[in-house]
Amino acid sequence: MDWQVNKDVLVYSGYNRGVKAGSFNSSGAGLADADVPYENEVLHAFEVGFKSVIWDQKARFNAAAYYYDYQDYQASRWDGLGNIITNNDSTIKGLEFELTTSPIEGLDLLLNLGLIDAEVEDLDLVGDGSVLVNVKPTFSPDTSLSGLARYTIYDFAGGDLSFQTSASYQSSIYSNLSNFDSTEFDGWTVVDALVSWTSIDENWSVDVFVKNLLDERYNTIGFDLAGVCGCNEEAQGKPRWVGASIRYTFF
């Protein structure tokens, strides 16, 4: 449902229901026969929010709140050399904010903020029902924040010259649904920079960039192999790297 409050403000709400089909765990996971199949996952998703134009048409500010109610959420947990999927109820509550503005000619600013409170209920860590814990879903940061600033000098050397910097932050996450300390990844911040020139006819473009300007070291994915080798396998994001590109468009 949409409500156009006035020409600058739109308020909306929505509801969606989704289903993910069930399937079967690998028998190699050492599960009892009754635990090999897992059921359908059903999601009831609710969202409310607004979209607005502010500051004399110089900015857009949007916000949304959502609530996801999972019934028989397909909880995937790494165990040994494979995954075990069980059905557990889960809820996810979140807020999202977005601000985009061009306060002066040539300057563009973008800011995004996401807040999440997510939980998977009664995860059976041992497999016999003796230890049931509430855990956070994998790769689900409580806070994520990103921003971008770009300034463009128009009609420079036969084209437009832009200077851009962007940054992304996310708080700590878990790589495995068990939420053991050994599977927790620290939060990180990555900053990128870009200088770009595009010809007036848009046929030529030249980019020079630096990715991960501050050389942040952070993990992106992990596998809990404690039951196999007493260790974890982790993959890191790319370190600082510099590059350039020249592109010509024929049509």
- DSSP code per residue over 155-173: EETTEEEEEEEEEEEE--E
Domain 2-248 has CATH 2.40.170.20: yes
Name every residue whose Cβ is closer than 8 Å to that of residue 195 and which is 6 or more positions away in sequence.
Answer: 161, 162, 163, 164, 207, 208, 209
Tens-digit pLDDT profile for residues 106-160: 999 999 999 999 999 999 887 777 889 999 999 999 999 999 999 999 999 999 9
Name every residue whose Cβ is closer than 8 Å to that of residue 49 and which is 6 or more positions away in sequence.
Answer: 11, 12, 13, 62, 63, 64, 65, 96
The domain limits of the chain are 2-248
Tens-digit pLDDT profile for residues 186-240: 999 999 999 999 999 999 999 999 999 999 999 999 888 877 888 888 999 999 9
pTM for this entry? 0.88
